[in-house]
């Protein structure tokens, strides 16, 4: 196995070892195996490619996902006021086409953000070139970029390299496509699942990138999904937004959000139908959440300098919103994250973060568990031995559960530890 494949294997193992990880639901079968570059990865009707334009990195850096026919499309975008040119363009294209698209084109190494009108023209040129190469309309193309902010795209390099795309589509490799959207990621992130529905089996496949700047509300992360299920654009958008709130919007690496975030899904409609309000809708929704959550966890595991994947579950909150507030504040606290790195059972930092989060509770009611090990009982009663706590804190993945004793609200946010490597990477990399 190569080093990259070892990284992938380790990441998948971490996620599987999360004691509170959801088992695969009965109607869902994971398809891709770590390190296995599966050319059968994409659903019926889709082809993908990753090629190199040498924009910034010595690796593939342009990804194309192409649908044989107009596909129902849905997407969620960054809420950052300084959003990038491709985000503006993709939003417009999605509106113009009533939710039907043919392709996603994405480059890494340059975000095409803070680039003004010239940047908007460059994003449009990427769409136009894709359209020209494959005989589709430019408005049927979603465009995404990730990388350094405030520098013009090297358009000559990009347009030249794009000429390789038609040929590269033949390999149809999930590995190539996932590699092409990476920036400081250390391994490509992809997963495909088969979903048994009443009308047959649908496939949902996705690739993602993250690393650094990851925080709820869409951080510098991209994910592109495709399915052969037949879903209306409206329903698809609702299902994507809902799954997004407890997957990509429930992870954090460093609390920074970016100018370029985007998660999209295309549904070719070649496969089984998902009717609104049917049981199939519930099955499809659950499967979509499962694949998106898995990809989201892969992003956390590969957070810059991260060595641990930690679920922060808050329960007993007044509401789900309150639970999410407390979980996010704990998950983003540098003092908590350095303690996770130091493998220190520092529950004081956890309650201090919960206390400043804005969530409503009485401090005497707080209880804390690491996996199934009680750490803090009500009345600030520390009930653990350092040895038992250390056994959990040394694991690559575990869950910290904080009970507020104040209601039915619950939410989980996934975070990683904060290490010196984070500083090393970000003190030098201009992103």
- Where along the sequence are the contacts to its own copies (CB under 8 A)? 79-83, 111, 113-116, 119, 148-150, 212-213, 217, 254-259, 332-335, 338-339, 341-342, 344, 346-349, 351-356, 359-361, 363-364, 366, 379-382, 418-420, 422-424, 426-428, 430-431
**29 is an active site residue:** no
- Give the number of other Cβ atoms within 10 Å of residue 262's Cβ: 27
Residues forming beta bridges with residue 29, ordered by sequence position: 194
Backbone phi and psi for residue 36, each to the nearest 5 degrees, phi listed first: -95, 110
CB distance 397 to 14 below 8 Å: yes
**Between 16 and 364, CB nearer to its own copies:** 364
CA atoms lying within 13 Å on the CB side of residue 177: 33
Q: Greatest CA separation found in the chain?
A: 68
Under DSSP, the state recorded for 251 is B
Instruction: At 116, list the tokens.
Output: 């003004």
Q: Phi-psi category of 125—alpha, beta or left, where left has phi over 0 and alpha has psi -120 to 50?
A: alpha
Go through the chain and tell me how many residues it has.
Answer: 431
Q: What Å distances lie between residue 236 and 145, 191, 292, CA to CA?
A: 23, 19, 14
Enclosing H/E stretch for 17: helix 3-17
Give the nearest distance from C-beta 308 to its own copies in angstroms. Answer: 12
**Between 150 and 166, CB nearer to its own copies:** 150
Candidates 295, 312, 331; CA nearest to 418 is 331
**Between 96 and 381, CB nearer to its own copies:** 381
CB distance 87 to 220 below 8 Å: no
* Active-site position among 78, 130, 220, 252: 220
In the block, residue with structure tokens 């031995």: 385
Enclosing H/E stretch for 398: strand 397-403
Separation between Cα atoms, residue 349 and residue 354, nearest integer Å: 9
CB distance 241 to 264 below 8 Å: no
In the block, residue with structure tokens 């970016």: 258
- Which residues are identified as catalytic? 220
């Amino acid at each position: 196995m190569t080093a990259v494949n070892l990284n992938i294997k380790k990441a998948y193992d971490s996620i599987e070892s999360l004691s509170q990880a959801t088992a695969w639901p009965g109607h869902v079968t994971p398809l891709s195996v770590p390190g296995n570059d599966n050319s059968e990865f994409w659903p019926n009707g889709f082809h993908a490619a990753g090629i190199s334009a040498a924009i910034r990195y010595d690796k593939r850096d342009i990804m194309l996902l192409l649908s044989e026919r107009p596909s129902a499309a849905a997407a969620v975008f960054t809420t950052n006021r300084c959003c990038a040119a491709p985000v503006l363009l993709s939003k417009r294209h999605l509106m113009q086409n009533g939710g039907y698209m043919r392709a996603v084109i994405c480059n890494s190494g340059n975000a095409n953000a803070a680039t003004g009108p010239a940047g908007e023209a460059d994003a449009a040129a990427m769409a136009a070139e894709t359209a020209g190469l494959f005989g589709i309309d430019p408005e049927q193309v979603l465009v995404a970029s990730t990388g350094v902010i405030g520098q013009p795209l090297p358009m000559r390099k990009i347009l030249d390299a794009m000429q390789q795309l038609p040929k590269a589509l033949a390999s149809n490799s999930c590995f190539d496509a996932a590699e092409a959207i990476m920036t400081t990621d250390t391994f490509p992130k992809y997963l495909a699942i088969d979903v048994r529905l009443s009308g047959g089996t649908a496939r949902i496949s996705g690739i993602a990138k993250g690393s650094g700047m990851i925080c709820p509300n869409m951080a510098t992360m991209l994910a592109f999904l495709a399915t052969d299920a037949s879903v209306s654009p409206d329903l698809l958008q609702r299902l994507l937004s809902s799954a997004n709130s407890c997957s990509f919007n429930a992870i954090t690496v460093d609390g920074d959000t970016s100018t370029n975030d985007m998660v999209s899904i295309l549904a070719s409609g070649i496969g089984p139908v998902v009717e609104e309000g049917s049981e199939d809708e519930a099955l499809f929704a659950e499967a979509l959440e499962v694949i998106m959550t898995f990809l989201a966890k892969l992003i956390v595991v590969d957070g810059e300098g991260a060595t641990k994947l930690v679920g922060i579950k808050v329960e007993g909150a007044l509401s789900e919103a309150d639970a999410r507030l407390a979980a996010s504040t704990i998950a983003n606290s540098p003092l908590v994250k350095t303690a996770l790195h130091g493998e220190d059972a520092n529950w004081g930092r956890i309650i201090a973060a919960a206390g400043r989060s804005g969530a409503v509770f009485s401090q005497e009611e707080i209880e804390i568990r690491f996996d199934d090990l009680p750490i803090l009982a009500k009345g600030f009663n520390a009930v653990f031995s350092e040895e038992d706590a250390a056994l959990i804190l040394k694991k690559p993945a575990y869950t910290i559960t904080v009970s507020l004793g104040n209601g039915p609200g619950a939410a989980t946010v996934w975070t990683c530890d904060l290490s010196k490597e984070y500083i090393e990477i970000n003190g030098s990399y201009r992103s």
